[in-house]
């Protein structure tokens, strides 16, 4: 027996610790949290389209007002500074609420505001940019001119 008892004790303890750590369950990683809540503006454009198809009935305008109120609350919770989107949402909400007081007399104005809601909150993919991006020749600057 060439090993001292202290060395034998240390090796036995190290072997025991290694065996014990092998019995542990693996660490479960937590799913990443969403960094930003999904933007519910599609619900606004859908409600606006449905309202226009229904000729802006009283119920549809009421649903649209509720959707705008939820969007305004979401925008106010999102940040402290007033954004352009928040101002636009609050203006549209105020106009719709004011015009909805006398729904039949203001039906044309309500339809105009609902149409503008579709433009404000919707995405425009109608325009397809023709050709390559401007300002890029497509040739590589091999001589490194103009980079000083």
User: Residue 68's domain spans which residues?
Assistant: 41-121
User: Given this model, what pLDDT does residue 37 score?
Assistant: 47
The answer as to whether 146 is a domain residue is no
The answer as to whether 60 is a domain residue is yes
The answer as to whether 143 is a domain residue is no
The answer as to whether 4 is a domain residue is no
Helix axes of 58-78 and 107-121: crossing angle, nearest 10 degrees: 40
The answer as to whether 29 is a domain residue is no
The answer as to whether 11 is a domain residue is no
Q: Give how many domains the chain has, as a whole number.
A: 1
DSSP reduced 3-state for 71:
helix
The answer as to whether 63 is a domain residue is yes
The answer as to whether 109 is a domain residue is yes
Its sign, for the CA torsion 75, 76, 80, 82, is positive
User: Given this model, what pLDDT does residue 38 score?
Assistant: 45
For the stretch 27-71, pLDDT in tens is: 666 665 554 444 445 677 888 888 888 888 888 888 888 888 888
- pTM of the full structure: 0.52
User: Given this model, what pLDDT does residue 75 score?
Assistant: 80
For the stretch 72-110, pLDDT in tens is: 888 888 765 667 778 888 888 888 888 888 888 888 888
């Amino acid at each position: 027996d060439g090993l001292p008892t202290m060395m034998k004790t240390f090796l036995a303890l190290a072997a025991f610790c290694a065996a014990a750590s092998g019995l542990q369950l693996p660490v479960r990683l937590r799913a990443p949290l969403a960094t930003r809540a999904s933007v519910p503006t599609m619900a606004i454009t859908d409600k606006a389209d449905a309202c226009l198809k229904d000729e802006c009935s009283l119920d549809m305008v009421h649903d649209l007002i509720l959707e705008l109120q939820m969007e305004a609350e979401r925008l106010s919770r999102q940040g402290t500074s007033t954004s352009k989107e928040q101002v636009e949402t609050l203006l549209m909400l105020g106009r719709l609420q004011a015009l909805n007081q006398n729904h039949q007399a203001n039906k044309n104005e309500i339809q105009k505001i609902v149409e503008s809601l579709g433009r404000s909150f919707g995405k425009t993919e109608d325009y397809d940019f023709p050709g390559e991006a401007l300002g890029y020749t497509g040739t590589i600057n091999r001589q490194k001119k103009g980079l000083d």
